[in-house]
């Protein structure tokens, strides 16, 4: 199993062996899907068979993520978690009640970037965490060194490392979970213990914060308070609410950071796209106010730009593995029960058979033009498949949209010039982890005008 950028090796296998490739690692069957068609035929159309999750000894058992939604086996508890999500943020209309949260926190992001544009990635991470913690637990983060943000960022980064394909031998040889910590090569157990302690604190502390506020009658509306309100919950139901909320943070924070950071990279490299997007905002919104969600339907180019962000930088290039719950025969192939199925989402969204010139950042591929149909919406693949599709996709899409439209309304993003030389950023993902982040890069971020500067400096409060 490749450890470094496995999606590129998977792509080579697809080109050599076809859309469905099989490898066997120490008795474990692994199926790699290299086309959206194969993924939809198996993971969508046969979701009753392909909605299981493999037991991941490192991340699930040793670190402790087994109770979170992405790791739950398909069954009653999984469906309960999904119902929790659907009840609160399961639709675009359901997300509308949190529009003010998104708009205020993004406005605060603009202020931070204006003050210190060289700390762009840090501020994207802070804002993504602030939005999700406000929605999940009604918690308003501190401007600097917030304890929940710092802890949560650490926990999510640990999870990305723990779930990377082939990163830990214990995922291939589960019996290694039982070896003592002094055993040669068992350093992963010390790491897992450290990560487990941080995860337990992150799960329990915000939940207790909400329950204490509800007892005092001061709890703002949030995902957690909504689910707890007016219910005499059993310990099991309370546990499900607690882990549903942390699943929201774990699934939405780091992924959103990657997407928004890649947007700034794309604007640095493709100035023509930036100018077209800004022209649409200027025409539809005008220069005298910041865009809001009320403008969403009048900005089709921005909608296409958001789709291209999803396609151009694939946040989870190899998806999250499914597990086959019963033997299956698919397209003449025997798929044994217990097989891991890995969708190579990176290639699906970079397949030249589906996307013209896929390395180019071109939002217009998603607009009907000159009688041509738009290219395939990347959200059919990037948010997962079947019954395992991301339940927070409306939250993710809203967060990315408002960050993009507000940033373009007031900022010009361009290449940095150092000693008279223009620096062109490299399009290169960091090599490790389930969640792919662009390699850090430099860019220039400046207000578009004095009017834009005034809009940024306005108060941003609830």
- C-alpha–C-alpha distance, residues 124 and 103, integer Å: 14
Sign of CA dihedral 164, 168, 172, 177: negative
CA atoms within 13 A on the CB side of 366: 22
User: What is d(CA 51, CA 66) in angstroms, rounded to the nearest whole number?
Assistant: 16
Task: For residue 390, say whether it is annotated as part of any ligand binding site.
Answer: yes
Phi first, then psi: give them for residue 347, nearest 5 degrees. Answer: -70, -35
What is the rounded CA–CA span in Å between residue 402 and residue 410? 13
Using DSSP's 3-state secondary structure scheme, residue 282 falls into helix
How far apart, in Å, are the Cα atoms of 355 and each of 260, 312, 317, 342?
22, 11, 16, 21
Looking at 270-299, list the stretches that DSSP marks H as alpha helix, in order from N- to C-terminal side: 271-284
CA atoms of 368 and 319, how far apart (whole Å): 29
Cα maximum dimension of the chain: 67
Query: What value, to the nearest 5°, has the Cα angle with vertex 313 and ends 310 and 316?
Result: 80
For 415-448, give one letter per residue: b (16+ CB within 10 A) or e.
bbeeeeeeeebebebeeebbbbbbeebebbbebb
Going 86 to 92 to 94 to 98, the CA torsion angle's sign is positive
139 DSSP 8-state letter: P
Phi, psi of 440 (to 5 degrees): -50, 140
- Beta strand 322-323 with 28-33 is unpaired
Residue 119 DSSP one-character state: G
Query: CA-to-CA distance for 57 and 52, rounded, in angstroms?
Result: 15
**Binding site, annotated residues:** 390
**Binding site, annotated residues for heme:** 390
């Amino acid at each position: 199993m490749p450890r470094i950028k496995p999606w590129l090796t998977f792509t080579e296998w697809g080109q050599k062996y076809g859309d469905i490739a099989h490898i066997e690692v120490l008795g474990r069957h692994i199926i790699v899907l290299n086309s959206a068609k194969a993924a939809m035929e198996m993971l969508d159309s046969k979701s009753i068979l392909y909605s299981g999750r493999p037991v991941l000894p490192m991340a699930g058992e040793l670190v402790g993520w087994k109770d979170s939604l992405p790791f739950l086996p398909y069954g009653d508890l999984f469906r309960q978690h999904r119902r929790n999500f659907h009840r609160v943020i399961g639709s675009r209309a359901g997300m509308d009640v949190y529009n003010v949260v998104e708009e205020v926190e993004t406005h605060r992001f603009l202020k931070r970037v204006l003050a210190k544009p060289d700390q762009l990635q840090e501020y994207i991470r802070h804002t993504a965490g602030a939005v999700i913690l406000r929605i999940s637990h009604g918690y308003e983060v501190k401007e600097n060194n917030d304890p929940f943000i710092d802890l949560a960022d650490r926990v999510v980064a640990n999870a990305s490392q723990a779930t990377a394909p082939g990163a830990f031998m214990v995922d291939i040889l589960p019996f290694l979970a039982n070896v003592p910590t002094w055993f040669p090569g068992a350093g992963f157990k010390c790491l897992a213990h450290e990560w487990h302690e941080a995860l337990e604190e992150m799960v329990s502390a915000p939940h207790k914060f909400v329950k204490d506020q509800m007892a005092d009658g001061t709890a703002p509306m949030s995902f957690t308070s909504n689910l707890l309100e007016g219910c005499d919950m059993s310990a099991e139901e309370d546990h499900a609410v607690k882990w549903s909320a942390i699943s929201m943070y774990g699934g939405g924070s780091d992924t959103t950071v990657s997407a928004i950071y890649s947007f700034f990279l794309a604007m640095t490299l493709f100035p023509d796209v930036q100018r077209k997007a800004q022209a649409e905002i200027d025409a539809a919104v005008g220069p005298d106010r910041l865009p809001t969600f009320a403008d969403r339907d009048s900005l089709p180019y921005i909608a296409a730009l958001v789709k291209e962000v999803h396609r151009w930088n694939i946040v989870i290039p190899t998806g999250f593995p499914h597990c086959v719950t019963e033997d299956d025969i698919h397209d003449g192939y025997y798929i044994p029960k217990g097989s891991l199925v890995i969708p190579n989402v990176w290639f699906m969204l970079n397949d030249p058979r589906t996307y013209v010139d896929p390395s180019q950042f071109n939002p217009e591929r998603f607009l009907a033009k000159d009688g041509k149909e738009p290219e395939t919406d990347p959200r059919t693949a990037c948010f997962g498949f079947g019954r395992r599709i991301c339940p927070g996709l409306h939250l993710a899409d809203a967060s990315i949209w408002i960050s993009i439209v507000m940033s373009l309304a007031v900022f010009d993003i361009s290449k940095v010039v150092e000693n008279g030389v223009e620096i062109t950023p490299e399009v290169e993902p960091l090599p490790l982890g389930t969640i792919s982040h662009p390699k850090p890069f430099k860019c220039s971020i400046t207000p578009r005008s004095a009017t834009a500067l005034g809009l940024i400096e306005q108060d941003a409060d609830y």
